[in-house]
Amino acid sequence: MNKLVPHRKTGVRTHSRSRPGGKCVTLLVLATVLLSLTAATVNAASPAASATNASPTVGAAKHPIGYAIAGPPSMIDSGSLAYFKAHGFSTVELIVPDSGTYQTELNTIKALGMQPVIDVEAVIWSGGRLQSTPITSFGPYFQSLKNAGWEYVASEGGRPGDLTYMQQFFKGYVNYNCDQCGLWLNVYKNPFTVMNSWESYYPPEWSSIQQGAKQAAAAGIQNGIMAGLWANSGGDNPILANTLGGGSPSYKSMLDWSYANGIGFTQFCVWCSLDPHVLSDYEHLGFPQIVANLQVEYPPTSSAQTSSRLPATLTLTPSTTTASVNQRVTFTATLSWWNPATGKWVATSGKPIQIWHTLNGVRYNAVTKTTNASGKVTFTQKWTSAGKKLYYATFAGDTWYKASTSAALTITVN
């Protein structure tokens, strides 16, 4: 559909719990770029140069894809970003409300070893209200972003000629094909576009997504799904409702279709607009389970799974180190992970901790428990004989967190 003003493009999208409905944005960055990310290296190669090779092999038992989170500066300032890093997300789209360069946020994204993309649609498009403003008017703004270190830019909508001008400042463009506007101005096939993020809210749009994804893939441009972080109470997010309730199309069925048809969507993005409660809304709407279910067949390509797993620390403390026979002693094990964004250790819930007792050089598993919301497990023990009792705790590690062992404790029983 080659029309200048897209259907329902009435303003920058501002979904939150208090305002469902409207539009969404995602970001999609190539799997090759994501695979190259490490916590120490964030200068990714150009997605455009390797778009074709980055698609996962069709027909494989599992198809690794990238996971992206798109949200406001407050998401980064609050430290929530590290949560997404720990759960397989490797790309961040910063949705900016104004023409600031957001240098601090960029540095934080890079410190986490994640791929940054800046969404400028509110500044240069504003839901179509700025369509008569020449794209050249934003040259100083684009230059300031380039100087700050932003390499990839994203937007929904725009004027003919926008991408040609923006090539002077950025390595690539992430295209958010707007909801309910068909195929927007052939931007999805533009050579400067490195990724199409198909806004996936309304089932009637699915046929346009299929058509556009096939054409873009034939041109070597990658494609993926954008999911909106708001409930379907206003009738504007039925694909989320399908995903939660078993309907079709759902996020899973869309990914399945892409691989069955030789396209291979390479990313799943959760788009949060300027929602100030990103993490709590993400959890409230059931996205942790949605993402976990997807990752069974579509595991993340994120470096968070491998050498860049987040460090964890485990401590074990007793209520006393000296006890009498038959006196109860309570051990508390605490598991935390290091959040580089805030420079603090954060409690880690829902993780299995084993507490061990060593006797005559042989270790025995005293108990295995799961950490609570405070990252703690407790264990109470008493002894029927005097002597020195040695205890320590272990966490085996998992996909997101490194293994950790506490220091050993000696309890003297009199």
Which of 305, 324, 346 terminates a domain? The answer is 305
pTM of structure: 0.65
Separation in Å, CA 36 to CA 98, 171, 239, 315, 316? 31, 16, 32, 34, 37
323 and 189 in a common domain:
no
User: Is 17 part of a structural domain of the chain?
Assistant: no
Do 301 and 317 share a domain, yes or no? no
Residue 401 DSSP class: B
CB 413 within 8 A of CB 359: no
Tokens 């062992």 -> residue: 405
Query: Is residue 5 in a domain?
Result: no
Given a contact cutoff of 8 angstroms between Cβ atoms, the answer to whether 64 and 300 are in contact is yes
Residue 24 covered by a domain: no
On the CB side of 167, CA atoms within 13 Å amount to: 10
Query: Do residues 192 and 273 both lie within one domain?
Result: yes
| Opening angle at CA 243, ends 238 and 245, nearest 5 | 90
Give me the domain span that covers residue 94. 31-305
Asked whether residue 386 is domain-assigned, the answer is yes
pLDDT at position 402, please?
82
Q: How many structural domains does the chain have?
A: 2
Residue 1 in domain: no
> Same domain, yes or no, for 296 and 338?
no
- Average pLDDT per 10 consecutive residues for the chain, totaling 414 residues: 29 38 36 34 32 38 89 85 90 96 93 92 93 96 97 92 95 89 88 94 95 92 95 94 97 96 94 93 96 94 53 93 95 85 73 88 84 90 92 83 90 94
Q: At what angle do helices 251-260 and 287-297 cross, to 10 degrees?
A: 20
Pick from 305, 325, 340: which residue ends a domain? 305
SS3 state of residue 34? helix
Cis peptide before 299 (omega within 30 of 0): no
Query: 213 with 155, same domain?
Result: yes
251 and 109 together in one domain: yes
CA distances from 200 to 79, 144, 165, 348, 411 (A): 27, 32, 28, 32, 58
Asked, for residue 2, whether it belongs to a domain, the answer is no
247 is a domain residue: yes
User: Token pair for residue 393?
Assistant: 């705790």
Same domain, 352 and 407: yes
Q: Are residues 41 and 113 in the same domain?
A: yes
Q: Is residue 21 part of a domain?
A: no
pLDDT at 38: 32
- Whether 330 and 301 map to the same domain: the answer is no
Residue 96: name the closest of 12, 214, 7 by CA: 12
- For 288-317, the three-class secondary structure string (H helix, E strand, C coil) is HHHHHHHHHHCCECCHHHCCCCECEEEEEE
The verdict on 112 and 170 lying in the same domain is yes
Same domain, 322 and 390: yes
Q: Which of 176, 132, 190, 144 is nearest to 28 (CA)?
A: 176
Name residue, tokens 């699915």. 206
Strand ranges (E), 169-328: 172-177, 193-199, 222-228, 267-271, 312-318, 322-323
Contact criterion met (CB below 8 Å) for 60 and 299: no
CATH number at residue 89: 3.20.20.120
Place of tokens 């409690």: 347
Nearest Cα neighbor of 198 from 255, 118, 246 is: 255
Q: Which of 203, 212, 305 is nearest to 265 (CA)?
A: 212
> What stretch of H or E contains 70?
strand 66-71
